[in-house]
Amino acid sequence: MTKRKIKKIVSMSITIVLSVTLLFMIFVVISSKASGGEPNFLGYQLKTVLSGSMEPTFSTGAVIAVKPLVNTENLQKGDVITFLKSHNEIVTHRISEVVKQGGNVMYQTKGDNNEEADTNMVPSMNVIGKYTGMTIPFLGYFIEFAQSNKGTAMLLIIPGVLLLIYSGVTIWRALKEIEQPANKKDVKETA
């Protein structure tokens, strides 16, 4: 493979990586802003793990995929669910017991890393979704940063600026290559 082909492959690879990064950043920022904080992807809610209560299943700072549920009354012992604990607190814990009282279903939950079960039972209507088993370690730190004002600005501006700089360098190199053959013609004609 010639040097020129290698340079072309490297150049295309860098362009693709920068473009995909920029598009991903735009997606994360817009998705998180539109959903009120947590991004959604292909019908799954992406939740950031903020505590170590479910270690080793998933660690603090990870992002987990949660499938929103229509019927929240048919969950079973051992399922990992995300639920509304209080007005603005969302928790993801494992069901340790299913309790049916009349027409109501309640879940006793416990974090895998906690010694005691949660103090309050979870009504089925408070269940948001079920953990799908997909975890991306450390991505939560990135999403939290992306949701801040500084993070939003940096994650949109930096990849865009890098892409513009790289495009400028590519155009400058292309112009330089066009000028070189023209200079060689001038030298041959005068000799």
State the residue for tokens 């690879």.
13
User: Measured between alpha carbons, how far is 180 from 164 in angstroms, rounded to an integer?
Assistant: 24
pTM of the model: 0.64
Two tokens, residue 182: 């023209």
Higher-pLDDT residue of 92, 26: 92
DSSP state of 88: T
The Cα angle at residue 54 between residues 151 and 84, in degrees rounded to 5: 70
**For residue 22, which phi and psi values (nearest 5 degrees)?**
-60, -45
Question: Which residues are known catalytic residues?
Answer: 51
Q: pLDDT tens-digit profile of 8-31?
A: 888 888 888 877 877 776 776 676
User: Measured between alpha carbons, how far is 77 from 96 in angstroms, rounded to an integer?
Assistant: 5
CA 165 to chain CA centroid, Å, is: 26
3-state DSSP assignment of residue 190: helix
For 6, what's the count of Cα atoms within 13 Å in the CB-facing half-sphere?
3
Whole-number percent of the chain with pLDDT over 70? 87
Q: What pLDDT, on a 0 to 100 scale, did the predictor assign at position 34?
A: 66
Across the range 43-59, mean pLDDT stands at 90
Q: pLDDT tens-digit profile of 109-168?
A: 999 999 999 999 999 999 999 999 999 898 778 777 777 788 777 777 887 788 888 888
Q: What pLDDT, on a 0 to 100 scale, did the predictor assign at position 129?
A: 95
Q: List the beta strands (DSSP E) in the chain.
A: 40-41, 44-48, 63-68, 80-86, 89-101, 104-110, 122-123, 127-136
